Structure 1
Amino acid sequence: MLSLFKKKNLNKTGEDTTVSSEELLNETSANLSAEEEVETSLHYSPAYMPTQELKYVYQFLNLDLTPLKPNQVSLSGIDLKQDGGDVTVTAFIRNSLDKAIQLQEIPLLLLGVEDEMLGRKVFNFAEVGEIPAKSSTPWVFTFSGDELATVEEFPKTGWKLAFELKTARRHELDLEESWANSLPEEDKARLHQLVAEIQAPKPGEVNFMGLQAKQTSEGNLHVTMLIRNGSDKNIQLQQLPLEVTDASEEVIAKGGFTLDDLEVKANTSKPWTFIFPSDLVLKENVDLSVWKAYPPQQHS
């Protein structure tokens, strides 16, 4: 790795990004003046012990870093190297608090000269260990495969590594276009109110909530459910097995549904109606005063 840094020109190639420790960690230092400048001393994680020569490089680069303000966490880009389909980024993790911090899983963004997205990956900072007060810790981050954007060449200078901060976002209703066009405004308003009032799914969780079940005169069972996506990514459903129980808690219908990549946007709930034809209804007289519908693997 030393070959990346020529002793006659020990310049880091990346820029610095900085976030508030309160925003990132809900942590602040009360003992520091807001106008104070914080120098960060070099620290090595037990999980990454560079060679003595490379320590010299890090020491030189750390001395040249711009001081931080109190209550900041910074990523200071040192080097970016492209190796086949992987991109390896070396950066200082800097902590200006007057106490140690411990980061956990946080998404990182690799940004280009114009702040264009070059990569995104969730890194587990628990591997780094504790980052002491007022310190700079060098660490190596690797992006690969679909974690990287498709570009001809990654920039040699001017790139940035940044924390992706999630702002609190309200869970919202996601209506398929056909529903938006056909559903009465009163029903749309009720659905919006329902989604706003019920507890949102946990981060990363996808679950199902029953809205309405009714049986037609032909014996078909119509079940309307909310598909609730608590993740920060859109999901596509291709196939969904479902079982339905009635007030007796017996399974009254079961079947598999092909959905043709039905998309539920990030942090939204989408209503959808599943129709069980009469030959998939397993009970003659069903009691829908109380009912549940669920994928079999989610039945507890």
Structure 2
Amino acid sequence: MQQLQLEASWDKALSAQDRAHIEKLFNEIKQQHYSTIVFSPIREAINHRNELLITVLVHNFSPFPLTFENTPLSYSNEQEVLAEQTFTLPALTIPAKVSMPWTFIFPQGSYTPGTSLWNGRLEIQSLPEKK
């Protein structure tokens, strides 16, 4: 059964409102019968360094831990790809059957400025082969 897990720094820093929102997203999707990785959008923002911050609840429905090592992600709306970046995140491992919030940071130059970046969809372009 799918479980919600928070990384320690997230657990300490989350406001009650954000925690309730994440729990609601988790409860809406945990009963679904997925067999792969699903991203539930939480928030998009541009920070002071003009980086695009995409916060999602990552649902690892697979039977394998999910790591991000040279993992290409894209962020798109209905019409076009808005951002692309390859992520290597040694600190992020999402165990099998676990959902965890995370913010992916797309540096300036990896996304299309001047387009509406809101209400997009984050996707893994291809998962590395399991050995």
Pairing 1:244–2:63 present:
no
Determine which of 36, 41, 53 is the counterpart of 1:210: 41
Task: Give me the whole-angstrom Cα distance separating, in 2, the residues matched to 1:231 and 1:251.
Answer: 25
Equivalent position SS for 1:241: strand
Structure 1 residues 219 and 258: CA distance shift in structure 2, 3 A: same
Deviations 1:81-131 (A, max 9, x none): xxxxxxxxxxxxxxxxxxxxxxxxxxxxxxxxxxxxxxxxxxxxxxxxxxx
Pairing 1:230–2:61 present:
yes
Contact residue 94 and residue 100 of structure 2 kept, 8 A: yes
Aligned sequence identity (%): 29
CA positional deviation for 1:261: 5.5
Contact residue 4 and residue 99 of structure 2 kept, 8 A: yes
How do 1:284-299 and structure 2 match up within 5 A?
Answer: 284-297=113-126
Q: Which runs of 5+ in 2 are unaligned?
A: none
Contact residue 60 and residue 66 of structure 2 kept, 8 A: no
Determine which structure has greater relative contact order: mean sequence separation of CA pairs < 8 Å that are 6+ residues apart, divided by chain length.
2
Partner of residue 265, structure 1: 95
Deviations 1:13-65 (A, max 9, x none): xxxxxxxxxxxxxxxxxxxxxxxxxxxxxxxxxxxxxxxxxxxxxxxxxxxxx
Task: Give me the whole-angstrom Cα distance separating, in 1, the residues matched to 2:21 and 2:13.
Answer: 15
Task: Give me the whole-angstrom Cα distance separating, in 2, the residues matched to 1:222 and 1:262.
Answer: 16
Task: Give me the whole-angstrom Cα distance separating, in 2, the residues matched to 1:196 and 1:252.
Answer: 29
How do 1:1-300 and structure 2 match up within 5 A?
Answer: 169=1, 171-202=2-33, 204-233=35-64, 235-239=65-69, 240-246=71-77, 249-260=79-90, 262-281=92-111, 283-297=112-126
Structure 1 residues 227 and 289: CA distance shift in structure 2, 3 A: closer
Partner of residue 21, structure 1: none
Contact residue 230 and residue 268 of structure 1 kept, 8 A: yes
Task: Give me the whole-angstrom Cα distance separating, in 1, the residues matched to 2:120 and 2:93.
Answer: 26
Mark the structure with the bigger radius of gyration.
Answer: 1
Deviations 1:182-215 (A, max 9, x none): 1113311221122012254536422323222122
**Higher percent of residues as strand:** 2
Contact residue 74 and residue 123 of structure 2 kept, 8 A: yes
Task: Give me the whole-angstrom Cα distance separating, in 2, the residues matched to 1:181 and 1:189.
Answer: 14
Deviations 1:209-254 (A, max 9, x none): 3222122354210001221112345x1403221111246x222211
Aligned pair count reads 126
Over the aligned positions, Cα root-mean-square deviation in angstroms equals 2.4
CA positional deviation for 1:296: 1.9
TM-score by length of 2: 0.79
Q: Which runs of 5+ in 1 are unaligned?
A: 1-168
Deviations 1:161-190 (A, max 9, x none): xxxxxxxx3x33111111001111331122
Task: Give me the whole-angstrom Cα distance separating, in 2, the residues matched to 1:228 and 1:188.
Answer: 16
TM-score by length of 1: 0.38
